[in-house]
Amino acid sequence: NAGVTQTPKFQVLKTGQSMTLQCAQDMNHEYMSWYRQDPGMGLRLIHYSVGAGITDQGEVPNGYNVSRSTTEDFPLRLLSAAPSQTSVYFCASSYGLGTSESDTQYFGPGTRLTVL
Amino acid sequence: DAKTTQPPSMDCAEGRAANLPCNHSTISGNEYVYWYRQIHSQGPQYIIHGLKNNETNEMASLIITEDRKSSTLILPHATLRDTAVYYCIVRVHPSSNTGKLIFGQGTTLQVKP
């Protein structure tokens, strides 16, 4: 299993540009989520999905859109990039929410985004 | 979810046991203690979790006090590759909320040769 994969690893955008960060998992996990991590800080939840076709907002959703058309993929779209969105973005997945074991989350390697 | 308090940094000699404390004095009866770590520039990695009994797996041991107000993560034989930020997280299970993991500042463990 490849686990959780993210592309690209690095990206530089200009203010106002849009782009999509890709996330895929091959573990048949129901739950997927996106976090951002700013320098010296913990991770903050952006959006999450409990299954294909179901998404919801986390604590910092503004400026981002998500969709979940398949179990495997959970892309994150930046609509109009701003310097405040410069961060490291992590995708995570788990079997689901229901037991302490199923809730163990697996993280991807991250995408380092710089918005100029 | 209950808040946790961890020391900002710790050192450990290679080959010795690393004992990382976590205080969670406001923990509720249905909240679990999770430990994750983040090695520099990588995504967080799950280590271990528990409710009230001590737990052990291939990576570490988790000791939870009887009153559940604190816990200790033990890496029995620390190696240089264990240098990372260690996060203690308390949350409810089964989770009926977002599944969000609340990462605090964690403890930066430096394993030295």
Q: Hey, how many other C-beta atoms are within 10 angstroms of the C-beta on A77?
A: 14
Return the structure tokens found at B58: 């291939």
Identify residues of A whose CB sits under 8 angstroms from chain B CBs.
4, 31, 33, 41-43, 45, 48, 50, 56, 58-59, 90, 92, 94, 97-100, 103-110
Q: For A24-49, what is the mean pLDDT?
A: 91
pLDDT in tens, B22-77: 999 988 888 889 999 999 889 999 999 998 989 999 999 999 999 999 999 999 99
pLDDT at residue B39, rounded to an integer: 94
In the predicted model, is pLDDT for residue B15 greater than 90? yes
Q: Give the model's confidence band at B1: pLDDT under 50 very low, under 70 low, under 90 confident, else very high.
A: low
pLDDT at residue B91, rounded to an integer: 78
pLDDT in tens, B64-109: 999 999 999 999 999 999 999 999 998 765 455 566 777 888 999 9
Contacts of B59 in chain A (CB under 8 A): none
Q: For A77-90, what is the mean pLDDT?
A: 96
Q: For A89-107, what is the mean pLDDT?
A: 80
Q: Hey, how many other C-beta atoms are within 10 angstroms of the C-beta on B24?
A: 23
The rounded distance, in Å, linking the Cα atoms of A31 and A115 is: 29
pLDDT at residue B3, rounded to an integer: 85
* Among A92, A8, A12, residue whose Cα is nearest residue A47: A92
CA distance A7 to chain B (A): 14
The rounded distance, in Å, linking the Cα atoms of B46 and A106 is: 7
In the predicted model, is pLDDT for residue A99 greater than 80? no
The rounded distance, in Å, linking the Cα atoms of A30 and B39 is: 26
* Among A78, A69, A90, residue whose Cα is nearest residue A3: A90
Q: For A70-84, what is the mean pLDDT?
A: 96
Residue B8, helix vs strand vs coil = coil
Q: For B5-29, what is the mean pLDDT?
A: 95
CB A73 within 8 A of CB A28: no
Q: For A63-85, what is the mean pLDDT?
A: 96
In the predicted model, is pLDDT for residue A56 greater than 70? yes
Tell me which amino acid residue A112 is.
Answer: R
> Do residue A109 and residue B101 have CB atoms under 8 angstroms apart?
no
Q: Which of B99, B102, B106 sits opposite A48 (nearest CB)?
A: B99
